[in-house]
Amino acid sequence: MRYFVIPARAGSKAILDKNLVDLGGHPLVAWTIHAAKEAAKSYDGARVYVTSEDRKILDVAESYGAVPHLRPPHLADDQASMVGVLRDFFRMHEDAHEVVLLYPTCPFRMASTIKNAIAAFESGPLHAEHESLMSVTAFNGRPYGGVMIVNGKLEYAESAEAFYRKQDTPKLYHANGAIFILRRGVLDKLNTQLFCKETVPYEIYGIEPLDIDTPFDLEVARAWVASGRAKLALKDTFTVAEGIETMGHAP
């Protein structure tokens, strides 16, 4: 069985009650619930769960049509790992053979993108499914040539000079938290960022990988909604204005 899982713990330092903060008249978590529900319609038996230690978050999630999954408090503190959260979910749902993990801090990832990622996940060699997939976004900067500040001065490796010109810098990607797909049994292979060398990348673009981590990120998201480029209706998944590049692909 394929289940969609949205992790939404209560703890948040930069933005108080981040998963419940208002975005376009709805709590932040609702945007991902709606995208997940829309995507889940394409798969028999698929259900959308929100896992949290907080009853308020679970009540809100249930009001938007998600199934609440109460996780133990020790899986919601600052030391908890997402691998541990997923172990708990798989333990409680023995029929789950696969989890589509969607962080609620990425409100603009669309149902169509989730389904395209699942299709890429299922197109392994000889039609065999992969074990894990992670959505990625290309770095805009040049991290290979980055510097540190130590005791008020710049510190860097001499070898970094080879990457100061943009055309000399390899193209790098980073996890954006929008989509992870994980099969039961793969958790022992993954690092704390939920990927390994066998993980399939799925690149997404534009506004979809926006990850709300700071108050500035939230203001960007609110400005995007206020501009009319994204909206969430109670009975429909959100839409993105026509003509905006958002689709992704597996490179």
Higher pLDDT residue, 117 or 249? 117
Q: Would you list the domain boundaries of the chain? A: 2-138+172-240
- Give 237's pLDDT tier (boundaries 50, 70, 90): very low
- Give Cα separations from 70 to 66, 77, 92, 131, 246 (angstroms): 12, 14, 10, 26, 33
Q: Element (H or E) spanning 7, and its range?
A: strand 2-7
**In this predicted structure, what is the pLDDT of residue 248?**
44
Among 239, 209, 135, 146, residue whose Cα is nearest residue 179: 135
Q: Does domain 2-138+172-240 have CATH number 3.90.550.10?
A: yes
Task: Kindly report the pTM of this predicted structure.
Answer: 0.86
Give mean pLDDT, residues 85-99: 94
Counting every residue, how long is the chain?
251
Check whether 243 has a pLDDT greater than 90: no
* pLDDT 10s digits, 142-157: 777 778 899 999 888 8
Q: What is the pLDDT of residues 37-52, one digit of tens each?
A: 999 999 999 999 999 9
- DSSP code string of 144-164: GG--EEETTEEE--GGGGGG-
> How far from 67 is each of 106, 127, 193, CA to CA, in Å?
19, 31, 25
**Residue type present at position 241:** A
Per-residue model confidence (pLDDT) at position 204 = 96
Residue 11 is predicted with a pLDDT of 79
- What digits encode the pLDDT tens for the residues 165-221? 777 778 889 999 999 999 999 999 999 889 999 999 999 999 999 999 999 999 999
